[in-house]
Structure 1
């Protein structure tokens, strides 16, 4: 039934959220539409609403820049279909989005007809990406797999590490012992294939996670 779809639109621009609302209604009238204007708002919403059929995600909004928001969402909610809707339409960006497990990419420059067609394709279970992408970069895909192997808690630790926090500060923020953080660090370094904090941060910068 069409009215069973629950779709979240995560974008910090009210006008574009409204345009997406209209497109979704035209594609599938009667959908339950929810919205978020920041990564924190989105994560809180996903905790309360476990049965989301589709997330339409902007890459750049408060709390998320580059691939960081997408990676965190894929890490915490691996079964949630995420379609990125972004003004960053470079082929390299779209390839990264695909490597990190998004179900599709819709350029913000798409007209209403193209948006509706893309939404229908996604809801029919077919990924939607622009033509001419070619294969994913092998190194990028490998790094994406390593990041995906992290647990949600390890990813939080890694994000705080990228923000320059010390083990003691991370332990305080997460309300755990410093020994627990050190154990997380050991596991993170092993999964990422790095030897220290500096290498981990460099890896994050390569993957466009750091803010």
Structure 2
């Protein structure tokens, strides 16, 4: 195993990202730590050799679990650890089922975070030790959905996420710098691969990727 590691900390909160980057850089031997503040930046960083990604579920450009599934589908050899303020057991289990190598609550001590990173770099998995058992029925549904999402191309995946955000075809075409006809073709392919017959059904189905932001819960 290599004695040097390239690790990406992908989080849009600058203070947390900086603290985590500094901690890993000083406490994990041989760590070269890169930062990403949104999904597009993360995609650019993934062009280099990467050993581990620490991913927030609420980064700009991602929609709940969409960033995790995108990375696991298109960079399957790179382990992804979710680092999130949403610590519900159901969220942790779903993240693991969608292919995460670990789940680190943001409330964890920096010592626990570093221990988790070292465990995963050594080929292990890490979740909070007091995590209750998973819901098996939910696992089966997530497995089927994850397989369907894995069949999407990177561009189709981006279009699907934009559909869930309520963007029209012409708006998506503008964002991706392609023609509206190209987006229509992508939408047709997405519907076929998800096994649905309308974009409304696709949006409802893709809603499985959404999770509440911890800040939203705090407001209630």
Q: Which interval holds the TM-score relative to the shorter structure? A: 0.7 to 0.9
In structure 2, relative to structure 1, the CA distance for the partners of 1:194 and 1:53 (3 Å cut) is same
Following the alignment from structure 1 to structure 2, what is the Cα–Cα distance between the partners of residues 25 and 55?
14
| Range with bigger deviation, 74-83 or 162-171 | 162-171
Distance in 1 (alpha carbons) for counterparts of 2:84 and 2:174 = 35
Distance 1:97 1:82 in 2: 10
User: Residue in 1 aligned with 2:144?
Assistant: 142
For normalisation by structure 1, the TM-score amounts to 0.85
Q: Alignment length, in residue pairs?
A: 209
2:119 is aligned to 121
- 8 A Cα contact 2:21 2:35, kept in partner: no
Q: Which residue of 1 aligns with 2:97?
A: 99
1:153 corresponds in structure 2 to 155
Over residues 139-159 of structure 1, what are the superposed CA-to-partner deviations in whole Å (9 max), with x where a residue is unaligned? 122112211221111112212
TM-score (norm 2): 0.82
Q: Which residue of 1 aligns with 2:44?
A: 44
For each residue in 1:163-190, what CA deviation from the matched residue of structure 2 results, as whole angstroms up to 9, or x when unmatched?
3333344345444444443332232112
What value does the CA root-mean-square deviation take over the aligned residues?
A: 2.5
Partner of 2:79: 81
Do the aligned partners of 2:63 and 2:161 also contact (CA within 8 Å) in 1? no
What residue in structure 2 maps to residue 165 of structure 1?
Answer: 167
Identify if the C-alpha distance between structure 1 residues 143 and 52 changes in structure 2 by more than 3 Å, giving closer, same or farther.
same
Q: Which runs of 5+ in 2 are unaligned?
A: 214-220
Q: Is the 8 A contact 1:40 1:63 kept in 2?
A: yes
